[in-house]
Structure 1
Amino acid sequence: MTTWNIAGSLTVVPAPTRTELLAEPVAKALAALAAPDEVGVAEIDPGLADTAEFCAAYGSPLSASANCVIVSGKRAGEVRFAAALVLATTRADVNGVIKRRLDVRKASFAPMDEAVALTGMEYGGITPVGLPGPWPILVDQAVADQPELVIGSGIRGSKLLISGAALAGLPNAEVIEGLAR
């Protein structure tokens, strides 16, 4: 079993042993990973799912949290989506790096209701694990370099603990230097 130095007061167990703490697409995608037992899950108060509140309540460092945002843009009438994963201490470069990667005129955060419907995950818990197949997962280099991270689990009532290398190895993941500012 993995020991998580960033867990603070969380009780972390191997994620495959507590699939009820995961959104359905996350549980399915986790089962397909090369080493699913190396991903941890911890139950939390859903009211404390937002990053700053979570870190304060559970003693997990903000510098070890990564946020996943869904970005969309249009090109020739086609809506293009991507997920961007950046450290919680940074912001995704939506109208620079992401806009160029999606090859769209304007990129913006996808509307909440649309992001929730398309991902099958709860707002505030969206995670790169289990996203729709064709979407690129843009991972900031600083995220990929982290040995331990806390990310969403697809629901607000838990968090995943995972390595940056595992995130960089997800299907459709692209590690990008300078994705975040």
Structure 2
Amino acid sequence: MRAPIGPFEQARPAADCLADLTRPVAEAVRGLHADDAAGADEVLYVDTDPAIADTAAFVAHYGPELLGQSANCVVVAAKRGGETTLAACLVPSAGRIDVNGVVRRHLGARKVSFAPMATAVELTGMEHGGITPVGLPADWPLLVDPAVADMPYVLVGSGSRRGKLIAPGAFFARLPRAEPVEGLCVQDPA
């Protein structure tokens, strides 16, 4: 299978690139491969320059058409009654997460903020700028904007700043603990 995404002719099955993935992502891909119904053959890996891992730099380097084919996975911290719950949100890269509205209500929190970088990195086992929905801690909810699930192919982090994963949007909606959340992404006015 070849994903029709930009300049990524070198994309290979992620299951063939386990040594290039962080431990939690490699374990998740290995687990998907063991469960044929999970769609492991749909997940591709492409090596990329870590210096351009952030969305703006990546799109500036490879072209603006990739903005509509990529998504960001962001870790949030929801607080209520002295307890903090962590969750991940997957939204199109062209928009932003409605943290104080939709996310706060969906998680039943009093306050929601982006998780501190050190916390997100430590608890996911992934690098800042490469956090991906594949391989997240098993008890975290994964809130997915329906626009991501509708994309034919989605480019996301691979767990590290070097490399990206490519898979159909529907794959991400099928991940464990994935929940579709309408209005999760707010499109910035053009």
- The verdict on a shared fold, with TM-score over 0.5 as the criterion, is yes
| C-alpha separation in 2, matches of 1:40 and 1:9 | 10
- Native 8 Å contact 1:91 1:180 kept in 2: yes
Report the CA distance between 1:56 and its aligned residue. 2.7
Letter in 2 for 1:4: A
Alignment of 1:89 with 2:94, yes or no, is yes
Could you tell me which of 43, 66, 70 is aligned with 2:47?
43
Report the CA distance between 1:52 and its aligned residue. 1.9
Alignment of 1:52 with 2:51, yes or no, is no
Alignment of 1:151 with 2:156, yes or no, is yes
Q: How does 1:118-137 map to 2 (within 5 A)?
A: 118-137=123-142
Report the CA distance between 1:10 and its aligned residue. 5.0
Letter in 1 for 2:16: T
Report the CA distance between 1:35 and its aligned residue. 2.1
Report the CA distance between 1:5 and its aligned residue. 1.0
Q: Deviations over 1:105-144 (max 9, x none)?
A: 1100000001000100000000111111111000001001
Structure 2, gaps ≥5 residues long: 33-37
Q: Deviations over 1:73-93 (max 9, x none)?
A: 211221111100000001010
Q: How does 1:157-176 map to 2 (within 5 A)?
A: 157-176=162-181
Q: Deviations over 1:27-77 (max 9, x none)?
A: 111122222121000011110101121123234611101000000021122
1:80 is paired with a residue of what secondary structure?
A: strand
Report the CA distance between 1:9 and its aligned residue. 4.3
Q: What's the TM-score once normalised by structure 1's chain length?
A: 0.95
Corresponding position of 2:12: 13
Q: Percent identity at matched positions? A: 53
Distance 1:10 1:21, change over 3 A: farther
Q: What's the TM-score once normalised by structure 2's chain length?
A: 0.91
> RMSD of aligned C-alpha atoms?
1.2
